[in-house]
Amino acid sequence: MKRYNLFSLCILLVLFSITACQPNKKEVQTTKDTVMQRKLANYAKVKLSADLSSLSEGHAKLFSHLLKAADAIDELYWLQAYGDKNELLNKMGDDPDIKAYAMINYGPWDRLDGNAPFTDDYPPRPLGVGFFPNDMNQNDFFAIPGNDKFEPFTIVKKDNKGELKVLPYHIAYKTQIDKAVEHMRKGAESCDCEDFKAYLLQRAEDLLIDNFKKSDALWLNLKDNKIDFIAGPIENLEDHLIWTKYSYGAFILLRNVEWTENVKKFALLLPYLQKNLPVDEKYKSEAPEATSDIVIYDVLYNSGYCNAGNKLIGLNLPIGTEQVVSNSRKVHFKNVMEAKFQQILQPITNLVIDEKQRKHVKFTSFFQNTIFYEISNSLGISQTINNKGSVKDALKEHHAIIRELKNDVLRMFFITKLHEMNELKDVDLMDNYVTHMADVFRSIRFGVTDAQGVANMIRFNYFNEHEAFKYDSKTGTYKINDYKMKKAVESLSKLVLEIQGNGDYDMAAEIIRDKGYIHNELLNDLYRIQRAKIPKDVVYDQGDQLAMK
C-alpha cells in the first residue's frame, strides 16, 4: 500500500474530490432571476473526479509545479483573449455575477452568444482581440513590412511612436512564459518517468523559442507517464482578423489506462473501416492515418483557452501548423464527458426522448459516439476523383460544413458496422442510436452560426425526412426507428462521401440550403429545454486547487 506524508496527502485530498461530478447549485442557481444569473445558469458547476490511487508523493510535488505553470499560461491567455484581467474586473464594480461570468468567458463577451457583449458597458469584440491593436484593420496588417506578421505565434503591437511592430510570443509574453518554464523545470525534478521528464524539459525550452516540433515528437512517444501536461498553442479560432494567431492553454491530465486500452483496438480497425465505406471503390483509394493513436485522460486542471467558455471533451494533437510532425494523437477527456452526460444529456433525454427509449441513453454509448467522431475525421476522402483537386478547394466555403457532416454521420455508420462484427459488446446498437439522437439536442442548442451547427441540422432534417425517428406532438418526444435509422445513416454517408469525392460544389450548396436550418417545431423543443433550465455546458470548480498555492 502506498504511503504519503501528511503534506502530500493533504494536497491530493484537497485538490481532487473523490465524489462524483455534481453542480454547485448554491453558486449557480439563486432565488433571484436576473439576466446575468440566467446566463450563469447556462453553466453547471462541477468538480472533476479521478482515480488517484496510483499516484506517488513525487506526483504530488510534480502537480504542484505544473499547477503554477498552468496558471502562468492562464495569465498569458487573458492577454490574448482580452487584455488586463484585473483592470476589467475592477471596472465591473461590485456585482459578483458579472465578474463570475467574465471569468468564465475570459472577457466581457459571451461565448455562448456569438461573442456579443454581455453588458452594455463594453463595445463589440474586436476582430483581433489581444493579438492586434483594437483599431487595426486588415489593410493595416498587410501594410506591415516583412513576413513575420504571418507567423502563427506572433502579435502586433504599437511602439512608443505609434508604429506597428511584430513581436514573437516568447517576447510579448516573456513574464508569463518565464514563470511557466521555471515551474516546468522544477516539476521535472520530481518526475519518476524519464521520458516524461525529457518531454517536460524540452517543452519548456520550446516555449522560449515558439517552436514546438521537438517536444511534440517526444510527447507522441510517451507511453508510461501517469500524469501528462499540455501547454502552449491550442487553436487559432479566436483571431477573427486574419484567422492565424494561436491561443494558449494548458491541461494537467491523468492517463486513464483502462479506458485507453478499451479503445486501442479501434485505431487498428481504421483500414478495415476505410475499405468498407458505403461508396464505389473509386472513392476508397486513400489510406487512413496509420500513425494516429487514441489516449483517454481524466482532466485534473485546465487553464487559458482550455478553460474558456464551452469545455473541450477532446482534441487532435499536435496542433496543425507547419512546424509540427506529421503524426497525431487523439485525446479524449472521460471525466469531462461524464460531467456533460450527467448534467446536460440526461436531463435533455428526460425531456425530449420517448419514455420507453430513455433506458438506451447510456454513458458508454455517448463515449463511443464521441470517440468515433474523431476516428471519422481520419477517414474518408481528401482528394476528388475527377481532377478537381482537393476536396477543400473544390467545395470552397462549403468545405467545413460538409466535413463536419461527414464526421457526424460516418461515426454512426462505423459504429453500426462494429456492432455487426460483434466488436461492441457492452452496449446495444439501439443505445448508440438513441444516445446520438439525444446528443443532437445538446449540440444544436449552440445554434447554426458555425459549420458544426449547420451540419447538425442537415443530419437532423435528413433523418426526419427518412423517418429515422418519429415526433409525438402530444408528449413532445422523439422515438427512434432503428431499422430506418440504419438505412438513413448509410444513405447520408454515401451522399456526403460522393459530394466530397466528386467535388460537387452545387450539391453541397443545395443540401446546406435545403436542410441546414432549424424549423419551427424543433425551435419550440429548444425553447422547452431552455425553460427547463438545463445548462448548455459546464464550468469547473477549481477553487480548492487555487487555495493550496
* Least confidently predicted of 23-32, 51-60, 120-129, 201-210: 23-32
Q: Please say if the pLDDT value at position 39 is more than 70.
A: yes
User: Would you say 245 and 321 are in contact if contact means Cβ atoms under 8 Å apart?
Assistant: no
Q: What is the pLDDT of residue 149?
A: 95
The three three-digit cell numbers of residue 256, written as one number:
486513464
Task: Give the model confidence (pLDDT) of 351-403 as tens digits.
Answer: 999 999 999 999 999 999 999 887 887 778 889 999 999 999 999 999 989 99
Q: Please say if the pLDDT value at position 41 is more than 90.
A: yes
Cα separation, 251 vs 50, whole angstroms: 14
**Confidence at 21, pLDDT banded by 50, 70, 90:** very low
Q: Bigger pLDDT: 530 or 326?
A: 530
**Confidence at 198, pLDDT banded by 50, 70, 90:** very high
What dihedral do alpha carbons 315, 317, 323, 327 form, nearest 10°?
A: -130
Q: Please say if the pLDDT value at position 487 is more than 80.
A: yes
Average of per-residue pLDDT across 472-491: 96
Question: What is the SS3 assignment for 81-94?
Answer: HCCCHHHHHHHCCC
**Confidence at 16, pLDDT banded by 50, 70, 90:** very low
Cα separation, 461 vs 517, whole angstroms: 8
- The mean of the pLDDT values for the chain is 88
| Residue corresponding to grid cell 466530397 | 500
Residues in a beta bridge with 539 = 45
**Confidence at 9, pLDDT banded by 50, 70, 90:** very low
Cis, bond preceding 271 (omega within 30 deg of 0): no
What is the dihedral sign for C-alpha 144, 146, 147, 153? negative
Q: What is the pLDDT of residue 545?
A: 47
Cα separation, 387 vs 384, whole angstroms: 6
| Residue corresponding to grid cell 506591415 | 144
Average of per-residue pLDDT across 272-299: 84
Give percent of the chain with pLDDT exceeding 70: 90
Map out the domains of the chain as residue ranges.
Answer: 256-292+328-518
Any alpha helices (H) in 120-247, and if so which ranges? 138-143, 169-172, 174-188, 194-207, 213-220
3-state SS assignment for residue 347? helix
Cα separation, 227 vs 540, whole angstroms: 19
Give percent of the chain with pLDDT exceeding 90: 69
**Confidence at 288, pLDDT banded by 50, 70, 90:** low
CB atoms inside a 10 Å sphere around CB 520: 6
Question: What is the SS3 assignment for 366-390?
Answer: HHHHHHHHHHHHCCCCCECCCCCCE
From 421, 412, 438, select the one nearest 490 (Cα to Cα).
Answer: 412
- The H-or-E segment that residue 122 falls in is none
Q: Bigger pLDDT: 105 or 19?
A: 105
- DSSP code string of 91-110: HTTT-HHHHHHHHHHTSSEE
Helical axes 257-268 vs 363-377, angle rounded to 10°: 50
User: Would you say 167 and 154 are in contact if contact means Cβ atoms under 8 Å apart?
Assistant: yes
Q: What is the pLDDT of residue 274?
A: 84
Q: Please say if the pLDDT value at position 488 is more than 60.
A: yes
pTM of the model: 0.87
Q: Please say if the pLDDT value at position 60 is more than 90.
A: no
Q: What is the pLDDT of residue 156?
A: 97
Q: What is the pLDDT of residue 522?
A: 87
From 427, 399, 416, select the one nearest 490 (Cα to Cα).
Answer: 416
Q: Please say if the pLDDT value at position 336 is more than 90.
A: yes
Q: What is the pLDDT of residue 338?
A: 96
**Confidence at 103, pLDDT banded by 50, 70, 90:** very high
Average of per-residue pLDDT across 5-25: 42
**Confidence at 425, pLDDT banded by 50, 70, 90:** confident
Task: Give the model confidence (pLDDT) of 535-547 as tens digits.
Answer: 999 999 885 443 3
Q: Bigger pLDDT: 327 or 136?
A: 136
Q: What is the pLDDT of residue 292?
A: 63
* Least confidently predicted of 206-220, 425-439, 518-532: 518-532
Q: Is 489 exposed, middle or buried (0-12, 13-18, 19+ CB in 10 A)?
A: buried
User: What per-residue string of b and e applies to 192-224 under the rule 16 or more CB within 10 Å gives b?
Assistant: ebeebbbbbbbbbebbeebbbeebbebbbebee
